[in-house]
Structure 1
Amino acid sequence: MATPPPSGEFGRISRYFKPLAAGFAGARGLRDDAAVFGLPEGQELVVTTDAMVAGVHFFPDDRPEDIAAKLLRCNLSDLAAMGAEPLAYTLATALPRDLPEAWLGAFVRGLAGDQERFGIGLAGGDSVSTSGPITLSVTAFGLVPAGRALPRWGGQPGDRVFVTGTIGDAALGLEIAYGRLDMPDAAARDHLLRRLRRPDPRTGLGPRLIGLATGALDVSDGLVADLGHLCEESGCAALLYGDAVPLSEAAVGAIDGDAARLALAITGGDDYELLFCAPSSATETLASLAADSGVSITQIGELVPGRAGTVTVLDAAGAPLPLARRGWDHF
């Protein structure tokens, strides 16, 4: 006999969300109005919040497991960019009343899988109904040694610019999802879509950049736009070498020499890779760190004197590459 659906808000909390909180003592079994926990000596708390809305950040018919993974991983990427280790998170959901129980069950399974993978637990949250699109929000908490959190504003002219992983997969995956890019190679197509739906937050690498990176953030709005944010806060400009930007084999196949698609790859966003600057003296150490962590780190440019926030993208010949846009902006 099938298990009847839980009754009301508290029935849902008991069935779906209490198990997610079981591994985090500060959640107090979700029996109180708030979580309670202390910080280890010598540590500070890093807090970040990201929201996702159906039709804006994900397609309404995306798999609930993928939606859950992206929601949590976007926040984990913010923690990594600050050099923080994941600790706990809270979750707020605004869901339609007629949402199938199977959807919620799959969504929770997606969260549970990533909790185990990234070592984080649910601390609490809120659940409401909505007549509008599904709206989800996570606030994530991380720990960083006191006074050592990576800033955006520490870069200075002469620093080299680095990025982890590969850039542009998510933007090209979105083109596939919209039907605007045909990819006959099924494996390449699946890779780009997976990178769109399930980004890879560099939680293991971020804390190891403390003492090496002078400024850092994650690539969410697009490589060019986010480098501009770092430069704006650091009070300098940057040169970005377009031919040095790391691309996956799938992305190279999708771009296929098309300048517009290359521009999309470096401005499209949703990569959730770490973008950071460091002095040239750190280059050898970063190479060793990349080899040890299994996450590639590529030098893609340098910070230079100039108007704060200015990013000049150069092509292989050293000429400025014209871009119609720099990245994503909600407003």
Structure 2
Amino acid sequence: MGARTGMHASGDNGNMAASLGEFDLIARYFTRPPRRAVLGVGDDCALLDIPPGWQLAVSTDMLVEGRHFLPGADPFKLGHKALAVNLSDLAAMGAQPLAFTLALALPAADAAWLAGFSAGLFALADAHDIELVGGDTTKGPLNVCITVMGLVRPGLALRRGGACAGDELWVSGTPGDARLALGHRRGEWTLPGDTLAALEARMDQPTPRVSLGLGLRGIATSAIDVSDGLLGDLGHVLEASGVGALLHADAIPSSAALAAQPETRRRACQLAGGDDYELLFTAPPGRHADVVAAAEAAGTPVAAIGHITATAGLTLLDAHGLSIAQHFTAFDHFRTP
């Protein structure tokens, strides 16, 4: 989309499609007039003004066909998800979305696929007032890589390392829905059609909790987005903060579909499922009402599901206060099949 970071086509792409060349592809599907960027798509680099008194938050996520999404995935939904998972990282830092770049490898320049993908991408971008300012295109196995940039005031960024003993542990939404849908898609279990549609929407078009993240600035002591499983992501917070946690597993909110599942399946989806892109965060008990108010203002349900302990380690309890064996494994790109 231009050249280099300004978004360009790289490699021997002239034969990508007889009727749609790489520069036509960029111009037709990914070029828009700059709004806040000084210079966007079409040059060697994008140029962005950073307002005085702000810091730039930057994150990159890659979606690879066959690893992060199935072959033949709906391009509109894929465009949405590719940006959503990156916006979720900004939400976890309490950063205001600013701009993003897109690196896209395509096996072929399919006009219908590109139209759907770009429509899904820009629909979510417009909803969060974030603009595409550059990137790269090439021919190869389908791979989508987005880098997002956001703004946050110094000292107000939410981080993983700030949890303190006594803090309440919170989560947004209903973790586990995406894993429940994935299990159906993999043939691990069967869900009724009326239930499946809503769950697949949670998996294919997750809602980045940007408004909640912004509202938690100055309230939450730590935060992370739940992408690889609640327990695995909580472990990152505990390690970074040098603390432990007591987690009431049955206090994690469940959708109606998840609540109807056998207990072992429900817990596995909630605790180790991942791909929900909810926010897991901590806050002092004295800020409980502030958390609730921030969540209400963001239109996002939240629930307190435990608390932080001074002693390292994680204790899982059920609704009766009995210990639950910790045999749940979070997703790992190099260990999970």
Query: Does the TM-score normalized on the shorter chain lie above 0.5?
Result: yes
- When residues 42 and 314 of structure 1 are mapped into structure 2, their CA distance, relative to the original with a 3 A threshold, is same
Partner of 2:299: 294
The letter for the 1-side match of 2:123 is G
Residue-by-residue CA offset, 1:54-107 (whole Å, 9 max, x unaligned): 01111111100111111100000000100001111000011113x522111111
Aligned-partner Cα distance in 1 for 2:53–2:194:
46
- Contact 1:75 1:140 (8 Å CA) reproduced: yes
Kindly provide the amino acid, as one letter, of the partner of residue 53 in structure 2.
G
Matches within 5 A, 1:202-241: 202-241=209-248
| Corresponding residue to 2:329 among 314, 326, 329 | 326
SS at match of 2:166: coil
Count the aligned residue pairs: 318
One-letter code of the match for 1:77?
S
Amino acid at match of 1:284: A
1:281 has 2:286 as partner: yes
How far 1:211 sits from its partner (Å)? 0.9
Question: How far off its partner does 1:315 sit?
Answer: 1.0
Q: Residue 163 of structure 2 corresponds to which residue in structure 1? A: 155
In structure 1, the partner of 2:4 is: none
What amino acid is the match of 1:222?
A: G
Q: 2:146 — aligned with what?
A: 138
Deviation at 1:112?
A: 1.6
Which residue does 2:135 correspond to in 1? 125
Gaps of at least 5 residues in structure 1 are: none
Match of 1:317 in 2: 320
Partner of 1:100: 110
Q: Is this contact kept in 2: 1:161–1:303, CA < 8 A?
A: yes
Instruction: Summarize the alignment of residues 1-331 of structure 1 with structure 2, pairs less than 5 Å apart.
Output: 7-19=20-32, 22-26=33-37, 28-97=39-108, 99-130=109-140, 133-184=141-192, 186-253=193-260, 255=261, 257-307=262-312, 310-331=313-334
Give the aligned residue type for 2:306: G
**Amino acid of the structure 1 residue aligned with 2:327:** A
1:317 alignment partner, SS class: coil
**Alpha-carbon contact 2:215-2:295 (below 8 Å) kept:** no
Matches of 1:258 and 1:297 in 2, distance apart? Answer: 22
Name the amino acid aligned to 1:200.
T
Note the alpha carbon deviations across 1:156-206, whole angstroms, 9 max, x for none. 11111001111100110111111222112x332111111000111111111
| DSSP-derived class of the 2:211 partner | coil
Q: Which runs of 5+ in 2 are unaligned?
A: 1-16
Query: What secondary structure, in the 3-state scheme, does the structure 1 residue paired with 2:127 have?
Result: helix
Change over 3 Å in CA distance of 1:27–1:276 after alignment to 2:
same
Please report how far the alpha carbon of residue 262 of structure 1 lies from its aligned counterpart in structure 2 after TM superposition: 2.0
Q: CA deviation at 1:6?
A: 5.4
Q: Is the 8 A contact 1:24 1:123 kept in 2?
A: no
Give the Cα–Cα distance (whole angstroms) in 1 for the partners of residues 158 and 80 of structure 2.
25
Q: Secondary structure at the match of 1:205?
A: helix
| Distance of 1:24 and 1:14 partners within structure 2 | 17
Partner of 2:181, secondary structure, is: helix
